Structure formats: structure tokens, C-alpha cells
Amino acid sequence: MKKIIITVVIIAVTLGAIALVLTNNKKENEAKIAVVAEKNAAVSVRIDTVKTQEISLDFSSNGNFEPVQELKFSAEKSGKITKVLVKEGDYVSVGQTLAIVRSDAINVSAQNANAVYQNAASDYSRFENAFKTGGVTKQQLDQAKLAMVNAKSNLTQANINVGDTRIKAPISGYINAKYIEVGSIVTGMPATQLFDIVNVSRLKLKVNVSESQVASLKVGSATNVKASVYPDKTFSGKITFIASKADESLNFPVEIEIANNSSADLKAGMYGTAEFASNRQKQSLKIVPRNAFVGSVSSNQVFVIENGTAKLKTVTAGRILGDQVEILDGLNDGETVIITGQINLQDGTKVEIIK
């Protein structure tokens, strides 16, 4: 009996020890799970610090060069091309003959129109002399004058038609494209396309600037321009146009005109950068990174960190200075703003800082 009691006690103690160990293990696992859960509940973010520093107000904007003049012109009269006097890449001056249309029938018509006019002019002269002596009536004289005027009009039109057989450059520039060859048949209706002429002696660079940047610009102001393919060259430009209304992205189109150099290094379509200098070279501004804003700068909302949680704040944004934004109100120097991970945040979300 005594052995049985001892055995039962040993078994009971053993079971108690096992139960105690299992209980302790359970508590440890639950603690670990709680730690992991708490850690997983925190959103990983990157941060930056609000600070006041001296910022250059100079800025630049990119765009593409366009010619100040570009013309795609077509035939006005119908006919067959007998000569093409230029090729693609040639420089032509305004009024220069580029091609000739067959003019046999047109020349004959002009000769006939000239003969008719000379005859009508001679008749009017005879009638005028006869009227002075009473040989013809005033009505006959008027009819002779009308015939002469009509003949003159027909001759003028005939000479215009002759001139139209010589296709001339309406502007100076380079032949960028040629659409006709000797033997081509051109028509005035529908009009046959003849040449593209591009004038690149002067170009314009079209760029977009923000609301804060456009306030410092004026038409007529000088600015430096660079082309990406000529990093060591600087071209002088002048602002010729500032839009009075922002586009859909709330930017203002600006045009800068640039005089090309003698070798015409700048080509239409090249990528260029306009460098705008501010009257005030540097200014102390309170700034945050542009990517601190929730959505876009226009939202005027940022997340700051307070006691390990994300706090949504409404601020007043000022000028956009490249990848920095001026803060006019709502933040103090030294506050910590979140610059990545905002998409996963709500006001009060716990955060873990990525170092």
C-alpha cells in the first residue's frame, strides 16, 4: 500500500511539473506572438526633418526646341513638274524658285491675253480721238474703255498664271521635306503637297513653370538656354510669351526665343533647358521634401511622427523648389515628417522607422 501511495505521489508531482513547464512555454509563446503582432502592426516608413535653410530661388525647366517659322505648302495650279531645283537639306531664300511646272498652254494663253489687251487699248485710243471730233458717241467710247479694262484684267490673271508655273519659296529656311519629282503631276484641288520649309535661324523653347515660378517671370526678360547635346554651350534667349491661364496640370506654358548660331547647331525637336535666374539669389525658407505630401503638394497634408504613431497634419505649402517645398504654416523646425509609406497610413497608425 505504501509503495502505491509513493508511486501516485511521484506521478502527481511529475504531471504537475509537466503542466508547469507547458504553462510557462505557453506564456512565452504568447508573449513572442504579441511582440511579433505588435511589430507587424507597425508600418515601415522613411522620415526627414523639417528645417530652415538658405535656398537658391533660381530654377530651370525643360522642353523642346521648335522653329519660329515652319511651312508646309501646296500647289495652287495644276500641271506637270518639269524641273525641281532644290533638294532636301538645301537652304533657300524667300522668293527663290524651287520647281517649275510645264507652262506651254499657260504661256499661249498669256500671249493671247496680251494681244487682246493691245488691240483693246488701240481701239480705245482711236475712239477717244474720234469722240473729240464727234465721230463716235459717248456710249461707244465707254464701251471701248470697258473692253480695254476687261482685257487688262484678263492679261493680269494670265501673267499670274505664268508666274505660278515657277514655284517659289514663301519663306527663307531649309528644305526639310520634298514631295515631288520631275514628272510629278500636281493639282490645285485637292492641293498637292510640295515642300516643307523650316526656318531655324531663330528657335523657340516651350517649357512649363509652376504657379510660384511664373510670378517672377516677365516677357522680354533674358534667360540662358542649354541643349542636352551641347552641354558646354550656352545660348541667349528672351521670354516672348507667358500664358495667362494655367493648363490642366496647373502649369503655365512659357516660350523663350533663341538666336541660333552661324552654324545652326540647334535643331528643331532637340531637348533644351531654360535657366531662370531669380532677383534674390538665396532666401531662408522652411522646407520639406516634396514627397512628404500625401498625394500631391496641392493636398497640403503631411504625416508627422508623434510618440511612434503617424499624425496627419494640414499645412500651407509655398513655392515648389525642385524636390523641395516651402512650408508657410503648419510645421515647426525639427518636426519629423514621413516621406515614404504614406499610402499605408491613417491618422494614428503605428510606424517603424527604416534607418
Could you give all domains of the chain from N- to C-terminal order, each with its CATH number? Answer: 44-55+283-353 (2.40.420.20), 60-67+199-276 (2.40.30.170), 106-164 (1.10.287.470)
Other C-beta atoms within 10 Å of 102: how many?
14
In the sheet with 97-101, reading across from the earlier edge strand, the strands are 166-168, 97-101, 79-84, 185-186
45-65: buried (b, 16+ CB within 10 Å) or exposed (e) per residue?
Answer: bebbebeeeebebebbbebeb
Measured CA to CA, the distance from residue 116 to residue 61 in angstroms comes to: 65
Contact (Cβ atoms closer than 8 angstroms) between residue 292 and residue 310: no
Measured CA to CA, the distance from residue 220 to residue 16 in angstroms comes to: 94
Residue-level pLDDT at 155:
86
Tell me the mean pLDDT per 10 residues along the chain, length 355.
58 58 56 45 88 80 91 85 93 92 73 88 87 85 89 84 82 93 87 92 91 85 91 91 90 93 86 82 80 88 92 88 85 92 89 87
Verdict on whether the full-model pTM lies above 0.75: no
Measured CA to CA, the distance from residue 141 to residue 121 in angstroms comes to: 12
> Phi then psi for 159, rounded to 5 degrees?
-65, -35
Residue-level pLDDT at 30:
52
Residue-level pLDDT at 140:
87
| Residue owning grid cell 541667349 | 236
Contact (Cβ atoms closer than 8 angstroms) between residue 46 and residue 64: no
SS3 assignment, position 3: helix
